[in-house]
Structure 1
Amino acid sequence: MPPVAVLGLVFLYPLALVVQQSLTPDSGGTFSAYAKVFGSAAFRDALGTTVWLAVGATAGCLLLGFVLALVIAFVPFPGARAVSKFIDVFLSFPSFLITLALLFIYGNVGMANGLWTGATGAGAAEGPFHFLTTPWGVLLAEITYFTPFVVRPLLAAFSQIDTAQLEVASSLGARPLRIVRRVIVPEALPALASGGSLVLVMCLNEFGIVLFTGAKGVTTLPMLVYGKAILESDYPAACVVAVVNIAISVGLFGLYRVVSKRAGA
């Protein structure tokens, strides 16, 4: 009972207040806030932007994470163990720190533009790298930050693979790509599913990366909650967007649990 009481006090009660404010706002009218928010173009744009950024970042993290984990686990090179340990440390970094590092490199006055203008003699504003304030910059930052969340479970899965299987497949004449496709990928599917699901849910709720990139034309659901609550003081609308964001996240988590059980993962 004590853990349940603490959970109810610090999480369930505030969540209930958010849902209540979205359903019956102080201004009156049941579901009036939902009708107002669902009818706005800003909400529809934010929902579409959130979904495509989350799906795109998840796909990029799965592809990049699989390649990195494959290299670290099966390609011998000096420092492989150190790289694996660095990934564990990378998981503890806050998202805005990674975004800040990208700004120092690819920002309008970052290192890349500085090197370009220094080499060509062009003006400071004529550097070619201005994509961080676009959706593609947000996508790059999210892939950079969330890829280790895919690499870590993949490395754990690869450590369970019997190397004798790889040796037998190689001795039978299988090429490296076929070994990866027929031996390694089937063993990695549960780890890919878990890592990809985690990244998808985290990208749906990511706030710091979008805020620190300064992408003014990129509004996601968490950014819309921030704008409605802090900038416009429209708390019922902010609660509605928050409830929608929560429903999407919980729905995806439930779908993952159902699919994983049916797949025997």
Structure 2
Amino acid sequence: MGDPSAPVLAAERRCGGAPEADAPAKAPSVVPTRSAPAERLPTTVLWALPPVAVLALVFLYPLALVVQESLAPGAYADVFGSESFREALVTTVWLAVGSTVGCLVLGFALALIIAFVPFPGGKAVSKFIDVFLSFPSFLITLALLFLYGTVGIGNGLWTDLTGAETGPFQFLTTPWGVLLAEITYFTPFVMRPLLAAFSQMETAQLEVASSLGAKPMRIIRQVILPEALPALAAGGSLVLVMCLNEFGIVLFTGAKGVTTLPMLVYGKAILESDYAAACVVAVVNVAISVGLYGLYRVVSRRVGA
């Protein structure tokens, strides 16, 4: 008796519906294609070349010249052994640290008021902070000179009222005047990230803490401050690096005996024409700034900021 399925198989063979039993199976053909990253790589490199070339021409090449000039024989030994360099380094560090601490305290307090204390004109004040960030540093220093300078408004009113020859405001030409000017100018750089962080906070947390009987200082310490720490770290590190490299404020206050590293670079290069010593001080200043930035990056990654 024949196989009943033979006619069906034969029909399928004729119509091409099924492969013949004795025909070897064909391997699927593979069409070679290039990967997408390999196609995009030349284009990416071409687009990256112009900015890299501009960066190398504008920044890396002058920086390399400064480093090369600083490698003059005996330049580092002479600069590190000088009393003026050590005094400038100490002055730069304590002014930068003091200004950063002042900006953090004042900026945190002002940001709290603007963000959580409703008062007329709060939005206008917040917008003014954005505009304040675009002001040059010497403009703020000139404003303080008009107010507290030797011939400023404050001393002028005092002499007019009392008949004295000089007024009581003589601190602007001292290190404390530089500190005041830097805190005044750099505080908005701390407030801006704080206001952005406060705008993302859930007000329900504050309402729950208040309903549980927490006092305002406890709410600030246990609820608001932990949320603001990343913003404080970012703003504080930015202010610290900028204060280390600040030149205009120190120059325009005319503070006697206040010599920072940028002022020392200016004095060595322009006044003394000692370019090798100026380049050494500049390299030290850059190394401190880059080192602080690298430290901030390491710490922020470890704490998950």
TM-score, normalised with respect to structure 1: 0.96
The aligned amino acid for 1:18 is V
Deviations 1:26-64 (Å, cap 9, x if unpaired)? xxx2xx100000000000000000000000000000000
Q: 1:12 aligns to what?
A: 60
Deviations 1:216-238 (Å, cap 9, x if unpaired)? 21000000000000000000000
Please give the alpha-carbon distance, in whole angstroms, between the structure 1 residues aligned to 2:148 and 2:50: 49
Q: 2:171 aligns to what?
A: 131
Structure 2 residues not aligned, in runs of 5+: 1-48
Give the ranges of 4+ consecutive aligned residues of structure 1 lying more than 6 Å apart after TM superposition.
Answer: none
Please give the alpha-carbon distance, in whole angstroms, between the structure 1 residues aligned to 2:107 and 2:249: 19
Please give the alpha-carbon distance, in whole angstroms, between the structure 2 residues aligned to 1:93 and 1:105: 18
The aligned amino acid for 2:278 is A
Structure 1 residues not aligned, in runs of 5+: none
1:59 equivalent among 90, 101, 106 = 101
Q: 1:76 aligns to what?
A: 118
Please give the alpha-carbon distance, in whole angstroms, between the structure 1 residues aligned to 2:149 and 2:230: 37
Cα shift at 1:84: 0.3
Please give the alpha-carbon distance, in whole angstroms, between the structure 2 residues aligned to 1:84 and 1:213: 28
Aligned partner of residue 256 in structure 2, secondary structure: coil
1:46 aligns with 2:94: no
Please provide the CA RMSD for this pair: 0.5
The aligned amino acid for 1:59 is V
Bigger Rg, which one? 2
> Structure 1 vs Structure 2: percent identity of aligned residues?
84
Q: 1:3 aligns to what?
A: 51
Q: 1:150 aligns to what?
A: 190
How do 1:223-238 residues align onto structure 2 when only pairs under 5 Å count?
Answer: 223-238=263-278
The aligned amino acid for 2:245 is N
Q: 2:155 aligns to what?
A: 113
TM-score, normalised with respect to structure 2: 0.84
Aligned partner of residue 173 in structure 2, secondary structure: coil
Q: 2:223 aligns to what?
A: 183
Cα shift at 1:117: 1.1
Please give the alpha-carbon distance, in whole angstroms, between the structure 1 residues aligned to 2:117 and 2:197: 16
